[in-house]
Amino acid sequence: MKSNKLFPRRSITIGTREALYGYSFVIIWIIGFALFTAIPLVQTFLYSLNQVTVSATGIILDSVKWANYSRALFTDPTFVQLLIEYSIETLVSVPIVIIFSMIIALFLNLKFRFKGIFRTIFFLPVVITSGPVIRELTAQGATSVPGITNTAAVGEFLAQLPVYLRNPIEYLLTSFILILWFSGVQILIYLSSLQKIDKSIYEAAAIDGASAWESFWKITLPSLSKTTVINAVYTIITLSHFSENKVIKYIYSQTYAVEGGIGYSSAMSFLFFIVLVVLLLIIYLLLNVRTEKKVK
C-alpha cells in the first residue's frame, strides 16, 4: 500500500490519524464558531458587566460589575415574570410536541398511498416559518384558536388557577396550533428511527402472541427512547430562540431603551441562557434516567 503523504503511517498512530481526518472536516465549522459565536459571546458577557454607552467616538464602558444582573433579578418584575412563564410554557409545550410528533411519525411509517405527500405536508411549516412569515401569521391570528378563552367554562377554569399558572395555560389553549407548527423536524427524526427498527423483532413478538399495543410499549417505545431525548432537546432550543418568544422580545425592547441599554440587555440574555440550560438539564435527566431504567 502506498503511504499517505499528508499523514505518514509510521510517524503517527491510526487513532491520531483518524482524529486529524475528523478535525480536517470540521475545521471550517470550528473557525466559524470561534469568529461568529465564541468571540461575540465573550464580548456580550463583558458588556453585561458594564454600563454601555454608544457615542460618536465609539463604545464607552463603565464597569458596574454585577449590578445589571441584580437589577434584572430583583428590581425588574416584568423580566422575572416572563422567565417564569417561559419556563412553564416550555415544560408544557415539549410533551405536546413530542407526543404529537411520535403519533404522526407512526402514522407516516405505515404503508399507504401518497405517503410522500403527507410527509411533505407535515414538514412544510418548517420551511415557510421564517421570521417575517411567522410574525405575519401570528399577527393575523392564524397560529391560534381565537375566542377559546372567551367561553364561560374556560374563563371560569382560568380564573380559579393561580396567577403563575393562568398565563401558561391560556398560552397553551390559544397557541396550540403554533406549538404543533414546530413538530416537522421531530416527525422526521422519529420517522428515521422507526425505519431502523428491525422488522424481525415485531415478527418474533407476533409469534409469541404479543398484540400491537404490547409491541408498541415493549418494542417501539423503548427503541425510540434516545430519539425522544434528542427531540426534547431540539424542541426546547427551537421554542427558546423563536422570534415571537416574549423573553426575547422584551430583551430586544430594552437594548436601546433609556432605562435599559446594551449592558442590561446582555445581562438579561445570559440569565435567559442559564434558565435555558437548566431546562435542558431537567428534561435530559428525566428522560435519560427513564431510558436507563427501561434498558436495565
What CATH number is given to the structural domain containing 194? 1.10.3720.10
HSE, CB side, 13 Å, CA atoms: give it for residue 123.
15
Find the DSSP H helices in 39-130. Answer: 39-48, 67-74, 77-108, 115-128
* pTM assigned to the model: 0.75
The whole domain housing 84 covers 67-295
Widest CA span of the chain, in angstroms? Answer: 80
Q: Mean pLDDT score of the chain, rounded to an integer?
A: 80
- Indicate whether 43 and 163 sit together in one domain: no
**DSSP per position, 117-145:** HHHHHHHHHHHH--HHHHHHHHHTTTTS-
| Mean pLDDT within 161-176 | 65
Choice between 127 and 265, residue whose per-residue pLDDT is larger: 265
Residues 41 and 73 in one domain: no
91 near 279, Cβ under 8 Å? yes
Place 71 in a pLDDT band, splitting at 50, 70 and 90.
very high
Question: Are residues 134 and 242 both part of a single domain?
Answer: yes
Same domain, 128 and 164: yes
Same domain, 39 and 115: no
The better pLDDT of the pair 280, 159 is held by: 280
User: What's residue 45's pLDDT?
Assistant: 92
- Bridge partners, 60 (sequence order): 53
pLDDT beyond 80 at 152: no
* Residues 134 and 272 placed together within one structural domain of the fold: yes
The grid coordinates listed for 190 are: 422519529
For residue 143, which amino acid is it?
A: T
pLDDT digits (tens, 9 = 90+) for 129-142: 655 666 666 666 55
* pLDDT for 240 beyond 60: yes
Domain-embedded: residue 3: no
Residues, the chain, total? 296
Give a yes or no: residue 160 inside a domain. yes
User: Picking from 15-19, 129-133, 239-243, which range would have the lowest pLDDT averaged per residue?
Assistant: 129-133
Would you state the pLDDT for residue 42?
92
Q: Which residue has the higher pLDDT, 68 or 294?
A: 68
Which residue has better confidence, 245 or 272? Answer: 272
Q: Is pLDDT at 69 greater than 60 in this prediction? A: yes
Percent of the chain with pLDDT over 90: 21
Question: Would you say residue 55 lies in a domain?
Answer: no
CA distance 134 to 243: 9
pLDDT at site 233: 92
Please report where in the chains the cell 364561560 appears, as a residue: 152
Indicate if 44 and 144 belong to the same structural domain: no
C-alpha cell at 124: 412544510
Residue 210 — pLDDT band, cuts 50, 70, 90? confident
Residue 224 CA neighbour count, 13 Å, CB half = 27
Can you tell me whether residue 241 is helix, strand or coil?
A: coil
How many other CB atoms are there within 10 angstroms of residue 55's CB atom? 7
Question: For residue 27, how many other CB atoms are within 10 A of its CB?
Answer: 10
Residues 36 and 80 in one domain: no
Same domain, 44 and 81: no
Residues 38 and 83 grouped into a single domain: no
Are 39 and 29 spatial neighbours (Cβ–Cβ below 8 Å)?
A: no
Q: Is 200 within a domain? A: yes
pLDDT digit string (tens) for 26-46? Answer: 999 999 988 898 999 999 999
Number of domains in the chain: 2
In a domain, 77, yes or no: yes
pLDDT at position 9 over 60:
no
What pLDDT is stored for residue 228 in this prediction?
Answer: 92
pLDDT higher than threshold 80 for residue 182: no
Query: Does 186 share its domain with 226?
Result: yes
For residues 143 and 39, membership in a common domain is answered with no
Which of 82-96, 238-252, 278-292 is least confident?
Answer: 278-292
Q: Nearest-5° angle of CA 111, CA 115, CA 118? A: 140
Across the range 277-282, mean pLDDT stands at 92
Average pLDDT over residues 37-61: 87
Share of the chain above pLDDT 70, in %: 74
pLDDT at 1: 46
pLDDT in the model for residue 10:
54
